[in-house]
């Protein structure tokens, strides 16, 4: 077998194995074929192991041959020859994508082995591994994407599986509501990502990262667009990265995401999904070299996220929320490293932090039980440790600062007031105008309040300002 054939085979294996895993589990659910827990876990192990083997084979071949980049092209999704517009499906194996893909397979395999025991006899066992397969495919596609539309495909798969796993306990209203909240925040980030992709197509004629970055391979590549275009595309991608990774001002969804099972919390918000925004910034980091305002914006977002996560983590009352905001602190530091140009350092930081957070979140459920077993073994309570009090927990600390951190920066209420509510009012207004217009075209009399039935599906806190009070109507 020649080297190009071996490289192509390894690349196809790395991408196809999670796709086949998703297809197999999804078809079994679709035709209502009941698979045993053992069969589902074994199938997941085989899929992860095959993908990891493909990535390791690619890494070994690249190291032995001295290659720094190996493209694997599948073809075009859409091609419009008259407009010279096409969406190209391409995967790139380089110094950034290969370590991140290997990390994804290793941690997904670890969490899958943990979930096999943790969710034993859980009614939603098969459903969890279906969403798990969607997430694995999304992470691999995002890591290995060679075009911005391919990255957007993986980005969407990760967001979809994330929202579904947050709402995993669907018999309770709070997880479902939190999953919907996270999905809405993801929509904002995805809209920015989509506009950036279209802008990139308009500027370069294609979404290929090589066309945007110009000559060279990561991290020595140089951006092929001017500073103004780099600023526009970079700011849109920064918004997308901030929304996906929970950076300021989108940090309010982080504690809501902890409603999912512990394995999903570990793999999403401690290890992989939370770092996807930083990975996107690393992929487009050559844009920072040609636009100083963009570099400053990245540094400010990273600094704000690091400080916000550091202070907010110190006032949390549950371990999962504290770990989530601790992850935000490290993520902010990683973004600062990217803004300063330390790209290899940021990649190493991502790998080390992902491994540590996965261990902490998987260890959290059994930690309390281990303390109880230790106290039973020694026949006495463990001595209380006296931790150093942070400035926010001292009696002399300002109440306003503590409340600001306890309320998580009031970010949820700010987004609710200045983003969500104006959009809902705009939608209600347009719906009202549409109803009046269609009623007039039909020759009927318009309803007295055509917007009222649009409000029936909204939460009460959103319609309270637009729905008349019942006591007022009675009077």
- For residue range 344-383, list pLDDT tens digits in order: 999 999 999 999 989 888 887 777 778 778 878 887 777 7
Mean of pLDDT values over 215-242: 85
Task: Tell me the average pLDDT of the chain.
Answer: 82
Helix extents (H) in 171-285: 173-204, 209-213, 227-245, 262-266, 276-283
> Can you tell me which residue has the tokens 């990217």?
338
Q: Based on the domain organization, do 269 and 173 belong to the same domain? A: yes
- Output the pLDDT for position 451: 46
Helix extents (H) in 31-167: 37-65, 97-118, 125-144, 148-166
As a whole number of angstroms, the distance between CA 144 and CA 166 comes to 26
DSSP-derived letter for residue 449 is -
DSSP-derived letter for residue 418 is I
N-term to C-term CA, the chain: 86
Residue 390's closest CA among 333, 325, 337? Answer: 325
Q: For residue 2, is it within any domain? A: no
Q: What is the pTM of this model?
A: 0.83
As a whole number of angstroms, the distance between CA 116 and CA 457 comes to 38
344, 365, 386 — which closes off a domain? 365
- Output the pLDDT for position 266: 84
Q: For residue 402, is it within any domain? A: no
- Output the pLDDT for position 470: 39
330, 349, 365 — which closes off a domain? 365
The answer to whether the beta carbons of residues 447 and 439 sit under 8 Å apart is: yes
Least confidently predicted of 128-142, 287-301, 431-445: 431-445
365, 391, 423 — which closes off a domain? 365
Q: For residue 278, is it within any domain? A: yes
- Output the pLDDT for position 271: 83
248 vs 401 pLDDT, higher one: 248
As a whole number of angstroms, the distance between CA 304 and CA 295 comes to 14
Q: For residue 277, is it within any domain? A: yes
Q: For residue 41, is it within any domain? A: no
CB atoms within 10 A of CB 22: 23
Query: What Å distances lie between residue 407 and 102, 320, 367, CA to CA?
Result: 37, 16, 27
Query: What Å distances lie between residue 341 and 146, 219, 277, 285, 391, CA to CA?
Result: 22, 10, 16, 8, 32
Q: Based on the domain organization, do 343 and 429 belong to the same domain? A: no
The 10 Å CB-count burial string (b at 16+, else e) for 442-460 is: eeeeeeeebbeebbeeeee
Q: Based on the domain organization, do 332 and 425 belong to the same domain? A: no
- Output the pLDDT for position 211: 67
Beta-bridge partners for 73: 90
Q: Based on the domain organization, do 205 and 266 belong to the same domain? A: yes
Count of domains forming the chain: 2
pLDDT band of 442, cuts 50, 70, 90: confident
CA diameter of the chain: 86
The answer to whether the beta carbons of residues 92 and 86 sit under 8 Å apart is: no
Q: Based on the domain organization, do 419 and 346 belong to the same domain? A: no
Residue 466's closest CA among 428, 414, 436, 415? Answer: 428
As a whole number of angstroms, the distance between CA 351 and CA 95 comes to 13
Q: Based on the domain organization, do 360 and 416 belong to the same domain? A: no
Q: Based on the domain organization, do 257 and 323 belong to the same domain? A: yes
Q: Based on the domain organization, do 430 and 293 belong to the same domain? A: no
Q: For residue 322, is it within any domain? A: yes
DSSP-derived letter for residue 170 is T
Q: Based on the domain organization, do 357 and 422 belong to the same domain? A: no
- Output the pLDDT for position 218: 80
Q: For residue 135, is it within any domain? A: yes
User: Given CA atoms 200, 203, 207, 213 in this order, what sign does their dihedral have?
Assistant: negative
What range does the domain containing 434 cover? 410-474
CB atoms within 10 A of CB 78: 9
Q: Based on the domain organization, do 360 and 414 belong to the same domain? A: no
- Output the pLDDT for position 175: 87
Mean of pLDDT values over 220-244: 88
Q: Residue 85 — φ and ψ, nearest 5°?
A: -125, 130
Q: Based on the domain organization, do 226 and 329 belong to the same domain? A: yes
As a whole number of angstroms, the distance between CA 211 and CA 207 comes to 7
Q: Based on the domain organization, do 236 and 306 belong to the same domain? A: yes
- Output the pLDDT for position 78: 65
Residue 162's closest CA among 144, 140, 181, 141? Answer: 181
Q: For residue 76, is it within any domain? A: yes
Counting residues of the chain whose pLDDT is more than 90, the rounded percentage is 34
């Amino acid at each position: 077998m020649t080297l190009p054939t071996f490289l192509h085979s390894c690349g196809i294996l790395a991408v196809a194995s999670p796709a086949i895993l998703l297809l197999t589990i999804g078809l079994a659910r679709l035709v209502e074929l009941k698979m045993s827990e053992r069969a589902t876990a074994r199938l997941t192990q085989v899929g992860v192991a095959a993908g990891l083997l493909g990535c390791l084979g690619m890494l070994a071949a690249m190291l032995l041959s001295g290659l720094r980049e190996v493209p694997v092209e599948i073809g075009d999704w859409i091609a419009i020859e008259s407009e010279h517009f096409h969406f190209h499906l391409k995967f790139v194996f380089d110094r950034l994508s290969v370590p991140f893909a290997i990390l994804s397979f290793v941690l997904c395999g670890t969490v899958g082995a943990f979930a096999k025991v943790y969710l034993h006899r859980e009614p939603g066992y098969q459903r969890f591994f279906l969403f798990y397969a969607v997430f694995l495919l999304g992470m691999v596609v995002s890591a290995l994407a060679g075009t911005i539309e391919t990255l957007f495909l993986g980005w969407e798969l990760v967001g979809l599986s994330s929202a579904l796993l947050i709402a995993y306990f669907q018999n309770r209203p709070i997880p479902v509501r939190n999953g919907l909240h996270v999905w809405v925040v993801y929509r904002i980030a995805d809209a920015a990502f989509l506009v950036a992709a279209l802008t990139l197509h308009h500027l370069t004629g294609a979404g290929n990262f090589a066309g945007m970055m110009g000559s060279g391979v990561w991290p020595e590549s140089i951006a092929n667009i001017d500073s103004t275009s780099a600023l526009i595309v970079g700011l849109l991608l920064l918004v997308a990265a901030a929304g996906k990774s929970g950076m300021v001002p989108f940090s309010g969804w982080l504690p809501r995401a902890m409603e999912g099972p512990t394995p999903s919390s570990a793999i999403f918000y401690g290890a992989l999904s939370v770092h996807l925004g930083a990975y996107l910034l690393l992929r487009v980091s050559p844009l920072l070299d040609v636009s100083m305002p963009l570099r400053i914006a990245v540094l400010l977002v990273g600094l704000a996220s690091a400080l916000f996560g550091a202070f907010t983590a110190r006032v949390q009352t549950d371990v999962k929320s504290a770990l989530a905001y601790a992850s935000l602190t490290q993520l902010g530091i990683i973004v600062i490293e990217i803004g300063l140009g330390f790209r290899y350092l940021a990649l190493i930081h991502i790998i080390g932090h992902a491994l540590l957070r996965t261990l902490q979140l998987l260890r959290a459920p059994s930690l309390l039980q281990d303390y109880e077993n230790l106290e039973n073994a020694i026949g006495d309570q463990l001595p209380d440790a006296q931790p150093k009090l942070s400035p926010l927990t001292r009696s002399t600390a300002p109440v306003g600062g503590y409340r600001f951190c306890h309320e998580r920066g009031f970010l949820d209420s700010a987004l609710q007031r200045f983003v969500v509510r104006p959009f809902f009012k705009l939608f209600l207004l347009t719906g009202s105008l549409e109803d009046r217009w269609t009623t007039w075209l039909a020759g009927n009399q318009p309803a007295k309040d055509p917007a009222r039935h649009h409000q029936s599906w909204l939460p009460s806190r959103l319609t309270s300002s637009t729905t008349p009070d019942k006591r007022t109507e009675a009077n």
